[in-house]
């Protein structure tokens, strides 16, 4: 009905903004009751990253998209709608609400827009103000719809939000923050607190994080969680971050001046600061002003900084590194791109947030497993990890058990005001944060883990069973195994069975000690060590005996990595046992029939006597230069000596069987001495088995 009276936007054919205003005011004036009762809605639309679309597809492409969106908005609005393009890529729509189909129509609208281009995801956010008063003019309605639009979160599926009054309250609060922040900075209402970081194992203070608070003259202490996001929207954040950095430098200067040994202090740098290329130089200037050695300063960046492009972040880190600053990754693991980031960024420390562990009520809470994996990855990258937000001793113990001993959180301390923190520093025993896992000389972890490297090739195809094993806090974990390792343990096992196998859970104390002794020797001597231990394999009836050779390949303060080679020697052990058992039986039998027996080695002239020979005749376990040594021992009486020598010469010459009577034992009882000779494949005598029984005749 307005078509003839109003002007249109030449590109999209929608109403011009002034026409739109006029048309909407027609309703506000003619139907104030309907306005109060929520019979109308104002919608505002914002196409995200429209500039990029213009860049990529040119202004023709951009225009085409605007026309498309305008048509979809018209379809969404239906017959009696008023629609306008307010400026560039911003649209608004005023509609009567006749039923409750709007959310469903909005879902269709946003889906259609999202799928309109085959190679590019177009996202359009929508804010909706459902009228609730008659005195709000068009601008006021649009302002409310726009406010709602700014509350649509980027990461969430729903692309639209309905306005509510708390948004306005929040906006007013934000405005208050904006109005006051410059003054607050000038009048030093921002205070820097410091939250200490501890080594949970030694109890030593190893560092602290500078955290800002706003000490508002009337509202009291305001949390950074409230004002940092506002300052970030406002570009004021860099000023604040540099202020915190300066205060931190000043505190370190004070420590150095007063002879107090400092600890490294970390400062937070907002994702938006990184967009400013001169930030590193600005920080360096402040550091120099206070003459603080750079080793006492660290910079925390967040994963979200990746959202603005990895190039800027990489450049920032490189410049900070060139100036000597350490870079810590804050809230590691909370973002979606954590692992990708690790691959691409040159970091010095990771901060893992305990929120990863928080129970979200789901059955499948994999937080602890993920945390364990992250810690292990960090260790192999040689990155120390600090656990953040640690509130309970159990959490800290758990972290230490998976190899992360540095913690920050309420368990140890809240963030402290400067003076309190200063006294703490003065009184505390201090330690350092150590890089966790260091491969021994000549080993390169990148190569070691690279699937294409020669190291991996050798490992996988090694003739025997090989594994990489980690030992920490009384636990053994197999980190990597080759196929033959599994085969050595048992054909029925799968790789998962073996990797999950905890050898110590299936060993008795004695075997555990044998293993630990060998491991300790390997660490102390930095050489290969061996041991043989019995353990049980889940699902197998009998225990197995494994000979393990181990060599340390990496270590840190709290754990050690070994390269191990294994042989399953259960069968061999059983055979030895069998032999020993038979020997025992034979020994018992020999007592019963009063027999002595021994072995004579033709080549070496060595004689190995039986247990009874040792006991009754006082022989050592091995006699050399036999039979002369026996003659010298007076086991063979002088009168029989020549006969005995002759017997052995005959054996040496190849006599297969022999028998002589010699007086033996202290009592010189006549014994029948018999020999049976064993020959090699060439017919040469090798060994002769001797026995002596009393000659009864």
Both tokens of residue 157? Answer: 């599926």
**Smallest distance, ligand C2E to C-beta of residue 330, A:** 5
Q: Please give the backbone phi and psi of residue 388, each rounded to the nearest 5 degrees, phi first.
A: -110, 155
- Closer residue to Mg ion (CB): 46 or 268: 268
- Closer residue to ligand C2E (CB): 34 or 229: 229
**Smallest distance, ligand C2E to C-beta of residue 20, A:** 40
116 contacts 126 by C-beta, under 8 angstroms = no
Stretches 85-93, 122-130, 407-415, 672-680: which one binds ligand C2E (CB under 6 A)? Answer: 407-415
**Smallest distance, Mg ion to C-beta of residue 329, A:** 9
Report if residue 330 touches Mg ion, rule: CB under 5 A. yes
Stretches 90-98, 380-388, 455-463, 535-543: which one binds Mg ion (CB under 5 A)? Answer: 380-388
Location of structure tokens 């937070």: 268
677 contacts 687 by C-beta, under 8 angstroms = yes
Both tokens of residue 641? Answer: 């000596």
**Exactly one of 410, 577, 679, 689 binds ligand C2E (CB under 6 A); which one?**
410
Q: Please give the backbone phi and psi of residue 482, each rounded to the nearest 5 degrees, phi first.
A: -105, 170
Both tokens of residue 595? Answer: 């027999």
635 contacts 619 by C-beta, under 8 angstroms = yes
Distance (Å, whole) CA 89 – CA 405: 52
**Smallest distance, ligand C2E to C-beta of residue 388, A:** 6
Report if residue 92 touches ligand C2E, rule: CB under 6 A. no
- Closer residue to ligand C2E (CB): 146 or 211: 211
Distance (Å, whole) CA 552 – CA 558: 14
Residue 195 binds which of ligand C2E, Mg ion, none (CB < 5-8 A, kind-dependent): ligand C2E
**Smallest distance, ligand C2E to C-beta of residue 187, A:** 17
Location of structure tokens 């360096």: 284
CA angle 467, 471, 472 (to 5 degrees): 150
**Exactly one of 225, 452, 454, 593 binds ligand C2E (CB under 6 A); which one?**
225
Those residues with Cβ within 8 angstroms of residue 182's Cβ, 6 or more apart along the chain or in another chain: 236
Stretches 199-207, 295-303, 566-574, 680-688: which one binds Mg ion (CB under 5 A)? Answer: 295-303
**Smallest distance, Mg ion to C-beta of residue 224, A:** 10
- Closer residue to ligand C2E (CB): 331 or 348: 331
- Closer residue to Mg ion (CB): 304 or 438: 304
**Smallest distance, Mg ion to C-beta of residue 328, A:** 8
Distance (Å, whole) CA 74 – CA 81: 7
- The number of helices, as runs of H, and strands, as runs of E, in the chain is 23, 26
- Closer residue to ligand C2E (CB): 196 or 690: 196
**Smallest distance, ligand C2E to C-beta of residue 406, A:** 13
Report if residue 535 touches ligand C2E, rule: CB under 6 A. no
210 contacts 265 by C-beta, under 8 angstroms = yes
600 contacts 628 by C-beta, under 8 angstroms = no
157 contacts 110 by C-beta, under 8 angstroms = no
Residues 299-318, one symbol each (x = binds Mg ion by CB under 5 A, - = not), give -x------------------
Those residues with Cβ within 8 angstroms of residue 374's Cβ, 6 or more apart along the chain or in another chain: 332, 333, 338, 350, 352, 385
Distance (Å, whole) CA 294 – CA 324: 6
Most distant pair of Cα atoms in the chain: their distance:
148
* Contact positions with ligand C2E (CB under 6 A) in 427-486: none
Report if residue 556 touches Mg ion, rule: CB under 5 A. no
Cα 198 from chain centre: 19
Residue 242 binds which of Mg ion, ligand C2E, none (CB < 5-8 A, kind-dependent): none
**Smallest distance, Mg ion to C-beta of residue 389, A:** 7
- Closer residue to ligand C2E (CB): 247 or 612: 247
b/e burial code for range 505-544 (CB count within 10 A of at least 16 → b): ebbeeebbebbbebbebbbeeeeebebbbbbbbeeeeebb
Report if residue 330 touches ligand C2E, rule: CB under 6 A. yes
Residue 389 binds which of Mg ion, ligand C2E, none (CB < 5-8 A, kind-dependent): ligand C2E
How many chain residues bind ligand C2E (CB under 6 A)?
Answer: 22
Helix (H) or strand (E) holding 597: strand 596-601
331 contacts 347 by C-beta, under 8 angstroms = no
Q: Please give the backbone phi and psi of residue 576, each rounded to the nearest 5 degrees, phi first.
A: -60, -40
Radius of gyration of the CA atoms of the chain, in A: 42
Of 137, 136, 222, 227, the C-alpha closest to 175 is 227
- Closer residue to ligand C2E (CB): 154 or 441: 154
How many chain residues bind Mg ion (CB under 5 A)?
Answer: 5
- Closer residue to ligand C2E (CB): 212 or 469: 212
- Closer residue to Mg ion (CB): 104 or 225: 225
Stretches 104-112, 167-175, 223-231, 670-678: which one binds ligand C2E (CB under 6 A)? Answer: 223-231
Report if residue 268 touches Mg ion, rule: CB under 5 A. yes
Report if residue 195 touches ligand C2E, rule: CB under 6 A. yes
Cβ atoms within 10 Å, residue 210: 24
Stretches 124-132, 281-289, 296-304, 657-665: which one binds Mg ion (CB under 5 A)? Answer: 296-304
- Closer residue to ligand C2E (CB): 296 or 597: 296
Cβ atoms within 10 Å, residue 428: 15
**Exactly one of 167, 222, 228, 548 binds ligand C2E (CB under 6 A); which one?**
228
Report if residue 338 touches Mg ion, rule: CB under 5 A. no
Q: Please give the backbone phi and psi of residue 174, each rounded to the nearest 5 degrees, phi first.
A: -60, -40
Report if residue 331 touches ligand C2E, rule: CB under 6 A. yes
Distance (Å, whole) CA 511 – CA 130: 75
* Contact positions with ligand C2E (CB under 6 A) in 340-399: 388-391
**Exactly one of 331, 470, 477, 558 binds Mg ion (CB under 5 A); which one?**
331
Residue 244 binds which of ligand C2E, Mg ion, none (CB < 5-8 A, kind-dependent): ligand C2E
* Contact positions with ligand C2E (CB under 6 A) in 287-316: 300
Helix or strand or coil: residue 485? helix
Q: Please give the backbone phi and psi of residue 247, each rounded to the nearest 5 degrees, phi first.
A: -60, -40
Q: Please give the backbone phi and psi of residue 191, each rounded to the nearest 5 degrees, phi first.
A: -115, 140
- Closer residue to ligand C2E (CB): 410 or 679: 410
Which chain residues interact with ligand C2E by CB under 6 A? 195, 211-212, 223-225, 228, 237, 241, 244, 268, 270, 300, 330-331, 388-391, 409-410, 415
Binding site for Mg ion (CB under 5 A): 268, 300, 330-331, 388
């Amino acid at each position: 009905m307005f078509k003839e009276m109003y002007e249109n936007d030449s590109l999209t054919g929608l109403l011009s903004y002034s026409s739109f205003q006029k048309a909407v005011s027609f309703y506000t004036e003619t139907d104030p009751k309907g306005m109060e009762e929520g019979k109308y809605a104002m919608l505002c639309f914002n196409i995200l990253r429209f500039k990029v679309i213009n860049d990529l597809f040119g202004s023709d492409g951009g225009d085409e998209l605007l026309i498309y969106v305008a048509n979809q908005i018209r379809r969404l609005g239906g017959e009696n709608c008023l629609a306008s393009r307010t400026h560039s890529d911003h649209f608004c729509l005023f509609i009567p609400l006749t039923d409750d189909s709007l959310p469903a129509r909005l879902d269709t609208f946003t889906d259609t827009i999202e799928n309109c281009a085959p190679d590019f995801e177009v996202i359009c956010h929508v804010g909706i103000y459902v009228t609730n008063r008659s005195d709000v003019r068009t601008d006021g309605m649009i302002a409310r719809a726009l406010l709602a639009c700014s509350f649509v979160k980027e990461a969430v599926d729903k692309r639209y939000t309905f306005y509510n009054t708390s948004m306005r309250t929040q906006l007013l609060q934000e405005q208050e923050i904006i109005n006051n922040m410059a003054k607050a900075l000038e009048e030093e209402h921002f205070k820097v607190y410091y939250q200490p970081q501890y080594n949970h194992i030694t109890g030593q203070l190893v560092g602290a994080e500078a955290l800002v608070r706003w000490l508002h003259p009337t509202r009291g202490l305001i949390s950074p969680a409230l004002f940092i996001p506002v300052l970030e929207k406002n570009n004021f954040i860099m000023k604040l971050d540099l202020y915190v950095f300066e205060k931190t430098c000043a505190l370190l200067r004070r420590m150095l001046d007063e002879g107090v040994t400092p600890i490294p202090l970390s400062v937070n740098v907002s994702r938006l600061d990184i967009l400013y290329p001169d930030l590193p130089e600005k920080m360096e200037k402040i550091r120099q002003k206070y003459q603080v050695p750079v080793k006492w300063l660290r910079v925390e960046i967040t994963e979200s900084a990746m959202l603005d492009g990895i190039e800027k972040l990489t450049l920032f880190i490189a410049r900070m590194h060139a100036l000597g600053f350490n870079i810590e990754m804050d809230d590691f693991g909370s973002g979606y791109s954590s692992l990708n980031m690790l691959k691409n960024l040159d970091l010095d420390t990771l901060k893992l947030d305990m929120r990863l562990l928080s129970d979200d009520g789901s059955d499948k809470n994999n937080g602890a497993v993920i945390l364990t994996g992250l810690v292990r990855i960090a260790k192999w990258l040689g990155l120390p990890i600090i656990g953040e937000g640690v509130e309970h001793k159990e959490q800290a113990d758990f972290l230490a058990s998976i190899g992360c001993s540095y913690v920050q959180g309420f368990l140890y301390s809240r963030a402290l005001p400067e003076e309190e923190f200063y006294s703490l520093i003065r009184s505390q025993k201090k330690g350092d944060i150590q890089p966790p896992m260091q491969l021994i000389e000549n080993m390169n972890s990148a190569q070691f883990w690279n699937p294409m490297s020669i190291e991996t090739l050798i490992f996988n195809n090694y003739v025997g069973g090989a594994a990489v094993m980690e030992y920490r806090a009384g636990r053994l974990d197999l980190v990597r195994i080759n196929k033959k390792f599994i085969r050595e343990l048992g054909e029925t096992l799968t790789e998962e069975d073996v990797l999950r196998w905890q050898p110590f859970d299936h060993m008795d104390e004695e075997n555990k000690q044998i293993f630990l002794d060998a491991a300790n020797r390997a660490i102390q001597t930095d050489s290969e060590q061996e041991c043989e231990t019995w353990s049980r394999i889940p699902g197998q009836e009998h225990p197995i005996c494994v000979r393990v050779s181990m060599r340390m390949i990496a270590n840190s303060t709290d754990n050690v990595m070994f390269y191990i080679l294994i042989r399953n020697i259960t069968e061999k052990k059983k055979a030895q046992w069998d032999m020993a058992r038979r020997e025992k039986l034979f020994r018992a039998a020999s007592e019963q029939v009063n027999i002595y027996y021994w072995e004579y080695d033709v080549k070496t002239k060595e004689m190995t006597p039986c247990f009874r020979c040792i006991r009754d005749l006082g022989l050592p376990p091995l006699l050399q230069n036999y039979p002369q040594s026996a003659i010298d021992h007076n086991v063979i009486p002088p009168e029989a000596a020549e006969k005995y020598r002759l017997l052995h010469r005959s054996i040496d010459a190849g006599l297969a069987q022999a028998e002589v009577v010699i007086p033996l034992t202290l009592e010189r009882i006549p014994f029948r001495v018999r020999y049976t000779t064993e020959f090699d494949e060439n017919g040469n005598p090798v060994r002769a088995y001797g026995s002596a029984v009393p000659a009864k005749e």
